[in-house]
Amino acid sequence: MTREEAKKKIDRLIDQIDYYNTRYYQDSVSEISDYEFDRMLKSLESLEEQFPEFKYVYSPTQRVGGTVTKSFETVVHKNAMLSLSNTYSEQELFDFDKRVAKGLPDQQYEYFCELKFDGVAISLWYEQGILQRAVTRGDGTQGDDITPNAKTIRSIPLKLKPGNSLPDEFEVRGEVFMPRKVFEAINAQKEADGETLLANPRNTASGTLKMQDSSVVAGRKLDCFLYYFQSEVPVVATHEEAIHLIEKGGFNVSGTYKKCRNMQEAIAYIKYWEQKRFELPLDTDGIVIKVNRLEQQSQLGFTAKSPRWAIAYKYKTEGATTRLNDITYQVGRTGAITPVAELEPVLLAGTTVKRASLHNANEIERLGLRIGDFVHVEKGGEIIPKVTGVDMDKRAPNLEGFKYTEQCPECGTGLIRREGEAVHYCPNEEACPPQVLGRIEHFIQRKAMDIESLGPETIRGLLDHGRIKDPADLYGLQFEDLNGLEFKVYSEKKADFSVRSLREKSAQNIINSIRNSKEQPFERVLFGLGIRYVGATVSEKLAGYFKDIHALQNSTYEELVEAPEIGERIAESLRMYFDNPKNRRLIDRLMRYGLKFNVEGEKENAGNNVLEGKTFVISGVFENMSRDEMESSIKAHGGKVVSSISSKLDYLVAGDKMGPAKLEKAQKLNITTISEADFLDMIGEND
């Protein structure tokens, strides 16, 4: 294929993928199958590898992520991103209307109303139809450059549709959010992994946008609604025209807006969405009301903190009062005990709430709960029900104070509470039924060993009959251990258990799945071990950095925190896990059964080990290599890449635009600073 042919095909693929992407993410229409879409994307990736000169910044391949940003550059906003004044009162809306009328004497004006989405404000800057920079709101004056992460959000255009009427340079602003379904799926996975649940979609979206690895951000499936347009060239007269302009330009605008002739119509809009908003796929916390005409906005001007031409009406957090019938306890895979409020069913934010998490003993004590109390219940982030207080006027005089359990509700073992933690734990890891069951369920799940056909009921049957005690025992099972195995199945309809037995074909399928699971790569095996705080992404990072289980389990705390994305909490958890002889014995048994505990193909891919034992910090921009390519090259030649400069560092690889602070610290510690050319000389690749 010639260069000209390649360019034409790449341009055609980019246009096709962008079209299908827009149809799916903005119009909710799937015109082609996922398989066909993925095949087109892989074809584009392949062509870009062969002809890198045609790998454009707006290519759809940029959306899969891969860029690692250790620190985010601070950017001053061209136009300040001010906050809005807000109110919970209809009367204050009429007071606002009077101020607008006073500021626009003898003028007719109208309002433009939009839902106030509960997400993270973002500014997007475009030049010649191509996304140049994405910046968070920050303090309103300056924010963080998160462009690589924003590019992973598929509803944000990287290149605008041809034929749009937008100027050469302009800014759009919007709200990045996490859809409810995505948030719930992440929390379901965290619950299965024995990790702390996320509080709400808004905080999760905010944390995701500041993640260092853009490939992780891509997996979080964030979305974005745009609601503001600004350019130095005047092209529209009203906010309504601006919204239609960016809609036609291919931006994702929520169709929930409405132009209102007066404040009475705006309040009717507010009342319409008060309950209707719960049907949306994301959280909302109010309505924004803006004077529609831009010239009138300019006349009204700004206060020091907010515009005089806009106001936000915020809905009161929906709550209810109901009776606390009991407090029960759940035991997680890691032994963590979670108290749960059992409530008299109550309708809240469109759903019936029967239970709410009470988090820990400290929270119960803070609330002063007693069984039989009437409690106030709200939905934090409109998703997770929470008990916020007690209605003391309704408390019966004979209610006894609540005492937190001292024994595990499942196995009776005395609970422990680790220093500095609020959660109680059951230490009986080997025999506490929910812990044993949870660890095996975690081990066999799709993201770990992917052992199909082996469901929770079958695992319980194997445990009840003494056929298994831990994940390693699965690999010792024979067909005879499974064929005819009896297990209990709960029926919601009958509200009772029935006994079933495993048939011959199902038994053989399980044996085959267990055998096939030995082909799972190291990172999945590591994830399957169920180490606290070590999820699928962290497992992948650890496997890629340490290469095999021996290097990982023998690493010191200091070496662990030097690994990408590994903080102090994860490092402490890893050391605690590997310091336990029982866990080491489990790993040894799994190794003897043939599971993979090293990254395959590393030695074949490496040119040599000239950087063996050397540590590097990479900073700045390089002429011949991206930072990711340099990091991969260092690892392929036996070296390690760390994120911070310390006395143990061997080399600082300095590129253009490197921050002066790193260079100054390296000089103080007498760290050798090398250029890109020096590095290529070290590995014998400087042509």
Active site amino acids: 116
Pair of tokens at residue 283: 């959280």
**CB-based contacts of 291, cutoff 8 Å, min separation 6:** 100, 104, 109, 110, 111, 112, 239, 297, 300, 309, 310
H/E run at residue 375 = strand 374-380
As to burial, measured by CB atoms within 10 angstroms (0-12 exposed, 13-18 middle, 19+ buried), residue 495 is exposed
Beta bridge partners of 357: 340, 386
Which of 196, 18, 67 shows the shortest CA–CA distance to 631? Answer: 67
DSSP 8-state assignment for residue 277: G
Residues 436, 413: Cα–Cα separation, whole Å: 14
Q: How far is CA 402 from CA 160, 361, 446, 541, 565, in A?
A: 61, 10, 41, 44, 41
Q: How far is CA 544 from the centre of its chain?
A: 21
Beta bridge partners of 142: 76
The H helix count followed by the E strand count for the chain is 25, 22
Q: Any idea what the Cα angle at residue 504 is, between residues 502 and 508, rounded to 5°?
A: 100
Pair of tokens at residue 509: 């399928």
Specify whether the backbone of 412 is left (phi greater than 0), alpha (psi in -120 to 50) or beta: left
Residues 306, 320: Cα–Cα separation, whole Å: 33
Residues 199, 180: Cα–Cα separation, whole Å: 12
Only one residue has tokens 């799940």, namely 445
In the chain, the amino acid numbered 552 is: L
The distance in angstroms from the start CA to the end CA of the chain is: 27
H helix intervals, 402-485: 433-444, 456-464, 479-482
Q: Are strands 651-654 and 672-674 parallel, antiparallel or unpaired?
A: parallel
As to burial, measured by CB atoms within 10 angstroms (0-12 exposed, 13-18 middle, 19+ buried), residue 13 is buried
SS (H, E, C) 466-510: CCCCCHHHHHHCCHHHHCCCEEEEEECCCCEEEEEECCHHHHHHH
Residues 284, 56: Cα–Cα separation, whole Å: 36
